Chains A and B, each alone.
Chain A
């Protein structure tokens, strides 16, 4: 199996299709993976080790052994898989995530707690601090 296919096998085990959600390789290409690695060059060595071995006994067994024996490689594979997946515009659309968006607001608008009485209850419950005069 090529290294790329090894990664897809591992990533599809980590992120399979489920309900309306697609599996990893349905929405992410290897170019996306490489782009993610360029953002995190610190993960490259671990990632390379993680995909260097053919998962002959299946993806789960390979991940199990990486998790136990090479936590850095496990962390690199899983971090790249999950971050790349949730950067995919299709996945973001499915989970309703516009990214860390810009939401301007009116700083002078009256806040609900001033009109629905809820903050009034807090005030009515009375003073909470312990005064310290003369101490």
Chain B
């Protein structure tokens, strides 16, 4: 059976059938929960508003790639304009949230950079006096991280002194291209930390995943089926284990009974009809924007603040990792259109707090190829590198040819991800005027980049410029904070022990509705500064295991 055949295996539950568990969202977190529950013999239905990916639609191998991908595979749903996504009201945010609806979720477009959170990420209050500690530790989560790595097929090199000792990665690190070598050279000359990139891209054939051929288009969908997404890594196994998946199913409400227990969900099917899926347990895996949106839409007329929101924290503390990028050009050829895009090298030199820098917490850097000629020209698209003067002539005419000659094939990009501290004023609310294709209210983002982040980014950009110049850069272009960079959506149904200050407990169960769970990054008390998907999937696995172990004690309607 091929991945393409799987779509036919998806199936709705029988009318009025009550299943053990209904999961909203078939991205990385929902897929982990579905696979492990189904394997434990639990009856599971997953409802996903998007569709199965069609790999023929990924344009990476075709000449029109740069033209098509800036629309069809744009990570901002407002630009993509696909009815399967919901639009997002971004009139009140400094950073646009980025996501994708489909089997595989937002990871369809992810860079596949694979990083664990670090020990201090779980202890920011104890160590740095800010935000909150997590209810569990790095060590508690590590076994789940390693198990998920084996399921995903991660490639990398163990032994990084920026992490506690750990076992080997399932696959050897991908080859480091000239881009990574040049990035590492700058770090080496500064005497700073760097390490070969770890990526959710197996370097060898693994299950339904093909070997990566370095096409370099991971961020717009991998046409080779080499980048690990759960439509390939998890769903073939989950369907085999009996999980059922309904696509084009947009959940509009979580239903509860008089005792305040969840009884299932109502969703709009592909034909626009309302359907009910009854379930003993409901799990939300709709990401840091979709999950609070659904809770705010639920609870009925008597609950204007939505469901599971007695703490008033649903939607609050949104963290999106303000991001800066530095493009550096060199005289020597770096073949900088070649992948893997993910990360060829990363650095955790400035990850930990050093108060002399004027901010708390830190950053993670990743070194990536700069891509094709249209992108590096800076002349169109999201205008990442547009000049202050705003004069279009700076990017066109002879300047276009000069810019492309200097950058194309000769440049790298360092991405700088900064830890975002939680603030209640940064939040997801329901838009008053914008609706999705089913007439449901769109989420609105209210978000400001805070002073700590501004200082953090400035410090890191200055260091990054030192590093790329140490390696001989002849041109540098900085973008900060990048508006189109909300790819990490974290914190909007915070976990904690105190029902007055948190939405869910450490296992993802809502304090107010004990058979309603959240298993995506909405529950994270803090954001770390690494890419979050490894930690999202590991936390989902930890919660799922606990749910299975405790299933006889689960309170249900």
Contacts and interface: CB of A to CB of B under 8 A. Distances in A.
A130 B119 contact: yes
Contacts of B398: 16, 18
B119 A100 contact: no
A95 B188 CA distance: 31
Contacts of A78: 379-380, 392, 396
B526 interface: no
A113 B195 CA distance: 10
B401 A129 contact: no
Interface string A91-125: 00001110111111101110111000011011101
A107 B184 contact: no
A95 B374 contact: no
Interface string B398-412: 101110110011000
B61 interface: yes
B138 interface: yes
Nearest to B68: A39
Contacts of A39: 64, 67-68
A98 to B, nearest CB: 8
Interface string B214-243: 111100000010000000000000000000
A14 B171 CA distance: 47
A74 B171 CA distance: 47
B196 A14 contact: no
B71 A40 contact: yes
B213 A103 contact: yes
Contacts of B133: 135
A119 B171 CA distance: 19
A69 interface: no
B67 A111 contact: no
Contact of A36 (B64, B119, B401): B64
A84 B63 CA distance: 10
A60 B120 CA distance: 55
**Size band of the interface chain B makes with A:** 35 or more
Interface string B329-371: 0000000011100000000110110000000000000000000
Contacts, number: 171
Contact of A113 (B127, B196, B408): B196
A103 B226 CA distance: 13
A36 B398 CA distance: 23
B175 interface: yes
Contacts of B224: 102
Given A111-B176, A118-B184, A42 B71 contact: yes
Nearest to A124: B161
Given A105-B214, A111-B196, A113-B176, A127 B409 contact: no
B171 A125 contact: no
Given A36-B67, A118-B184, A16 B397 contact: yes
Contacts of B175: 105, 107, 109, 111
Contacts of A67: 392
A83 interface: yes
Contacts of A109: 175
Nearest to B338: A103
Contacts of A103: 213-215, 338
B164 to A, nearest CB: 6
Contact of B127 (A97, A105, A122, A135): A135
Contacts of B405: 19, 95
Given A107-B171, A121-B188, A100 B60 contact: yes
A7 to B, nearest CB: 15
B204 A107 contact: yes
Contacts of B351: 128-129
B382 to A, nearest CB: 11
A122 B195 contact: yes
Nearest to A114: B157
B540 to A, nearest CB: 23
Interface string A52-78: 000000001001100100000011001
A123 B163 CA distance: 11
A14 B374 CA distance: 13
A27 interface: no
A101 B215 contact: yes
A97 B214 contact: no
A128 B120 CA distance: 11
B348 A82 contact: no
A129 B196 contact: no
B107 to A, nearest CB: 20
Contacts of B65: 99-100
A18 B126 CA distance: 60
A79 B338 CA distance: 23
Contacts of B71: 40, 42
Contacts of B402: 18
A42 B404 CA distance: 26
Contact of A100 (B184, B216, B381, B393): B216
B190 to A, nearest CB: 11
30 contacts: A14-B397, A15-B397, A36-B64, A36-B67, A40-B68, A78-B380, A79-B67, A83-B64, A84-B67, A86-B373, A95-B404, A95-B408, A96-B409, A97-B372, A97-B373, A100-B60, A100-B65, A100-B217, A100-B337, A101-B338, A109-B175, A111-B196, A119-B196, A121-B188, A122-B188, A127-B161, A129-B162, A130-B118, A130-B119, A132-B126
Given A79-B67, A101-B338, A128-B348, 20 more contacts: A14-B400, A18-B397, A18-B402, A40-B71, A82-B380, A83-B64, A87-B67, A97-B372, A100-B339, A103-B215, A104-B211, A107-B172, A113-B196, A118-B184, A121-B188, A126-B161, A129-B119, A129-B351, A135-B133, A135-B137
Interface of B: 60-61, 63-68, 70-71, 81, 118-120, 122-123, 126-127, 133, 137-138, 155, 159, 161-164, 171-176, 181, 184, 188, 191, 193-196, 203-204, 211, 213-217, 224, 337-339, 348-349, 351-352, 372-374, 377, 379-381, 392-393, 396-398, 400-402, 404-405, 408-409
